[in-house]
Amino acid sequence: MNIDIILKELNKQLQIAYKKNEVPVSAIIVKDNKILAKTHNLRETKQDIMAHAEILCIKKAAKKLNNWNLSDCDLYVSLKPCSMCWKVIKQARIRSVFYFLDKPDFKHEYKGTDLNLLTFDDFSKSYQQLLKNFFKNKRK
């Protein structure tokens, strides 16, 4: 796909986000040299923590293809994806990610939430067996 077309579309989405008072981040998913989905941040508009450009774009592309597995797609995003988006990108099996700007120095991810592992032997063992059985059956 022509990089000039991608840049033009990313910029259009950035301008829309900016006018909506959203953090200007835009994303495009390309498959077979065609734009499959494009969008921008909508976290404030939707009051939805998950409404990052990358995630919205992945959802649009998955809906269009009727498949969550986007392994034959590439993602172009204006800003380096945050850790949440990166995990979703990996789960969607996106083939390649291209971004145009690293996070600015003043933009830091929130690190105040604690993550704690709880272990209850009976629950942990039965849950582990359930997961094993699930994936074993999937492979059949």
DSSP-derived letter for residue 78 is: S
How many angstroms separate the CA atoms of 82 and 80, rounded? 7
Q: Assess contact for 36 and 73: CB atoms under 8 A.
A: yes
- Which one of 9, 22, 54, 109 is the catalytic residue? 54
Cα Rg of the chain (Å, integer): 18
Q: Which amino acid is at 75?
A: L
Tell me whether residue 22 is one of the annotated catalytic residues: no
35 has which bridge partners? 30
Tell me which amino acid residue 39 is: T
Q: What single letter denotes the amino acid at residue 107?
A: K
Q: How far apart are CA 61 and CA 120, in angstroms?
A: 40
- Please report the sign of the dihedral spanned by the C-alpha atoms of residue 8, residue 57, residue 97, residue 139: negative
Supply the residues annotated as catalytic: 54
